């Protein structure tokens, strides 16, 4: 779980969206899978598939130490009226400023209040947070489950 | 002007005195028992208790005997009704006292029953609150249904499990062996290359000048004008410049390289394989075998 990797992921997606790319791949790691699954659940991406450097797998392939170097996660990017669905992908926590929130603060943030320097949640925006067990949740889900942890990024 | 003390009241009201002070009126509910399950008091284990006369320390709160409202009414009200009183013998004042006592008893009975109802109501409310809290907690801990999980892509299963299948011990052992083999074959390759180089040096040592006579001979050859050799060299240079014998010379060189490779030789001299075979006696054995075969055929 690295904030640097998440920042790279964000920058990569934004670069791909700027040139209206429909499909892209990111390294195959747990963090990328968790964030991509979050984006998929929230409807920001249209495809989430495992694959190799050449493209998504046509039939399931087991990940082994022999092929791990070529494994990638393939994401389908969404556009609407020629505009990317992901308009903004901002990091809240940085390696130099990790933002850990309590359950109360998470609930406040989820209900649309500003918390510390974090601006209020906007309509159709989602914030991802990480618990101590390295699980990633959307802020509404985290508030419902009364979790606490580090807020990672906000997407809309 | 400061703030009003006690919220504008003249003072603090006394604490409300409980009606059922000493004994509980009903046994504890399962909810109360669950709440008090981990309740502890007094001194921790292994701590010596102080001496206190007529007092016992209990680690767990001791349950007081239950006295129901009916028992209470019987004990404190009904049993205290004066019996066999002839009112005609009493003075007017005493009759009024009796009536007053009767009224007080009725009030106390009424108070007992009312208080019991109130406590029951509070208990019900408490249970309702606890039930709601339990429901909320279980909802938080609730896992998604199987149908929900099945309709989701299988990625969630990857997140919870291992991202990569580890090698089994047997597979790992095979990989380790392969790695050792690779390393050793690489080392062997290097060792053979060095041995070949050494052999090459050994072969070229044939032409080295080691004695005085050889040195003198070499000097003589170098400085003596040999007309035929000079002319040959001249012709070679002319040929090379005109490109006449270039292809021939190159083909010759290539041929000698191929020849060396095929026969495992170094510039016509025995190569490393030949030397190795000779040293370990393989050549000798082969020769003998060939001889035997030849004799058999003859």
pLDDT averages per 10-residue partition of chain B, 298 residues: 73 82 86 86 87 87 89 92 87 93 95 93 91 88 75 68 87 93 95 91 88 90 80 82 69 82 79 84 89 88
Among chain A, residues having any CB pair with chain B shorter than 8 Å are 28-30, 33-34, 36-37, 40, 48, 62-65, 68, 144-146
What average pLDDT does this structure show over A108-132?
Answer: 94
Residue A142, pLDDT score: 94
Contact at CB, B155 and A63, closer than 8 angstroms:
no
> Residue A10 is encoded by which pair of tokens?
């964000």
Indicate whether A44 pLDDT > 70: yes
Q: Which residue has the tokens 């030789």?
A: B265
- A-chain residue closest to B143, CA distance: A145
Give one DSSP letter per residue of A56-106, joined into a string.
E-SS-----TTTGGGEEEEEEE-EETTEES---EEESSBTTB--EE-HHHH
pLDDT at A129 over 90: yes
Contact A33 B153 (CB under 8 A): no
Q: In B, which residues are within 8 Å of A63 by CB distance?
A: 163-165
State the pLDDT at residue B155.
Answer: 67
Give the pLDDT of residue B22.
83
Query: Who contacts A63 (Cβ-Cβ below 8 Å, separation ≥6)?
Result: A28, A50, A71, B163, B164, B165
Best of A63, A141, A147 to disrupt the B interface by mutation (most B CBs within 10 Å)? Answer: A63
pLDDT at B188: 94
- Output the pLDDT for position A25: 95
Q: Are the beta carbons of B153 and A40 separated by less than 8 Å?
A: yes
Is B153 close to A62, i.e. CB distance below 8 A? Answer: no
Find the CB nearest A65 among B158, B159, B164.
B164
- Is pLDDT of A110 > 90? yes
Q: What is the four-CA torsion angle of B36, B39, B41, B44, rounded to 10 degrees? A: 160
- What's residue B264's pLDDT? 77
- Asked whether A84 and A92 are in contact (CB, 8 A), the reply is no
- Nearest residue to A136 via CA among A121, A119, A155: A155
DSSP string, B133-176: HHHHHHHHHPPPPHHHHHHS-THHHHHHS-SSPPPPHHHHHHHH
- Contact residues, chain B, for A34 at CB < 8 Å: 159
Q: Closest Cα partner for A155 from A43, A1, A22, A76? A: A43
Dihedral sign for Cα B216, B218, B219, B221, please.
positive
B178–chain A Cβ distance below 8 A for any pair = no
Mean pLDDT, range A29-55, rounded to an integer: 92
Q: Which residues of B touch A36 (CB under 8 A)?
A: 155
B155/A64 touch (CB, cutoff 8 Å), yes or no: no
- Nearest neighbour of B156 by CB, restricted to A37, A64, A68: A37
Separation in Å, CA of A34 to nearest CA in chain B: 7
pLDDT surpasses 90 at A114:
yes
Q: What is the pLDDT of residue B220?
A: 87
Among the partner-chain residues B153, B159, B165, the one whose CB lies closest to the CB of A34 is B159
Phi, psi torsion values for B195, nearest 5 degrees: -65, -40
Indicate whether A151 pLDDT > 90.
Answer: yes
């Amino acid at each position: 779980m690295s904030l640097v990797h998440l920042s790279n992921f964000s920058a990569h997606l934004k670069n791909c969206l700027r040139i209206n790319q429909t499909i892209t791949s990111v390294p195959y790691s747990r963090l990328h899978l968790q964030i991509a699954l979050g984006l998929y659940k929230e409807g920001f991406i249209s495809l989430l598939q495992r694959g190799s450097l050449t493209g998504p797998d046509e039939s399931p392939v087991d990940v082994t130490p022999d092929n791990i170097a070529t494994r990638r996660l393939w994401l389908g990017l969404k556009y609407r009226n020629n505009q990317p669905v992901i308009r903004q992908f901002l990091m809240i926590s940085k390696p130099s400023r990790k933002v850990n929130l309590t359950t109360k603060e998470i609930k406040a943030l989820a209900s649309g209040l500003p918390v510390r320097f974090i601006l209020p949640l906007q309509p159709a925006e989602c914030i991802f947070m990480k618990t101590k067990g390295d699980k990633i949740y959307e802020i509404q889900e985290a508030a419902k489950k009364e979790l606490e942890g580090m807020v990672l990024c906000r997407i809309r | 002007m400061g703030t009003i003390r006690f919220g504008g009241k003249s003072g603090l009201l006394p604490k409300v005195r409980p009606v059922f002070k000493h004994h509980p009126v009903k046994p504890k509910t399962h909810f109360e028992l669950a709440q008090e399950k981990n309740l502890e008091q007094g001194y921790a284990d292994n701590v010596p208790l102080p001496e206190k006369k007529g007092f016992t320390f209990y680690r767990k709160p001791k349950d007081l005997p239950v006295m129901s409202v009916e028992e209470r009414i019987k004990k404190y009200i009904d049993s205290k009704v004066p019996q066999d009183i002839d009112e005609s013998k009493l003075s007017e004042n005493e009759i009024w006292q009796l009536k007053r006592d009767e009224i007080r008893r009725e009030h106390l009975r009424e108070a007992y029953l009312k208080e019991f109802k109130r406590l029951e109501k509070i208990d019900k409310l408490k249970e309702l609150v606890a039930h709601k809290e339990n429901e909320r907690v279980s909802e938080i801990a609730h896992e998604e249904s199987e149908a929900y999980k099945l309709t989701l892509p299988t990625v969630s299963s990857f997140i919870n499990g291992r991202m990569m299948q580890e090698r089994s011990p047997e597979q790992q052992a095979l990989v380790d062996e392969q790695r050792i083999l690779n390393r050793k074959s690489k080392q062997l390759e290097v060792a053979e290359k060095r041995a070949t180089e050494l052999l090459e040096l050994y072969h070229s040592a044939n032409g080295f000048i080691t004695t005085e006579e050889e040195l003198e001979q070499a000097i003589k050859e170098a400085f003596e004008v040999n007309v035929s050799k000079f002319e040959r060299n001249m012709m070679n240079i002319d040929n090379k410049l005109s490109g006449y014998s270039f292809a021939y010379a190159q083909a010759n060189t290539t041929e000698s390289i191929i020849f060396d490779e095929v026969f495992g030789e170094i510039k016509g001299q025995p190569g490393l394989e030949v030397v190795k075979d000779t040293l370990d006696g393989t050549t000798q054995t082969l020769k003998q075998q060939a001889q035997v075969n030849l004799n058999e055929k003859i």
